[in-house]
Amino acid sequence: QLQLVESGGGLVQPEGSLRLSCAAFGFTLEYYAFGWFRQAPGKEREGVSCISSSGDSTNYADSVKGRFTISRDNAKNTVYLQMNSLKPEDTAIYYCAAAEFTCGPVTDFHAWGQGTQVTVSS
């Protein structure tokens, strides 16, 4: 059984911060790249950030670059997304997902979490 469980979402004010966590069960984390995606109502799911299996490569959507940081702790079987300087436009359900080795298109991700809601509002 493979499972990803996101946590850490919530309601924050603009310019606030949140750290999302993605706990992985049934994975050997070193073989997997992990991505964070988000989807707002009426919008397409978009990639936010991804970290390669080795951790030596990361990428970010232009809209979050400089504000969000992805990291991983294989010993804790957990992937993180630190979100700073949050904007109302960041409001969405955030999902983590796993792909083999490299960060590619969304279709490469075969395991998904249930999502955690992030709401940025004053």
Range scoring the smallest mean pLDDT among 20-29, 57-66, 106-115: 20-29
- The whole-number pLDDT of residue 27 equals 78
The type of residue at 6 is E
Q: State the DSSP H helix or E strand holding residue 25, giving kind and residue range, or none if neither.
A: strand 18-25
Rounded to whole angstroms, how far apart are CA atoms 78 and 59? 18
Supply the pLDDT for residue 2.
80
Q: pLDDT for 79-122, tens place per residue?
A: 999 999 999 999 999 999 999 999 999 999 999 999 999 999 99
Query: Who contacts 70 (Cβ-Cβ below 8 Å, separation ≥6)?
Result: 34, 36, 49, 50, 51, 58, 60, 79, 80, 81, 82
Residue 50 phi, psi dihedral angles, 5° rounding: -150, 150
Q: Given this model, what pLDDT does residue 26 score?
A: 87
Q: Given this model, what pLDDT does residue 28 score?
A: 83
Residue 29: band (very low, low, confident or very high) from pLDDT cuts 50, 70, 90: confident
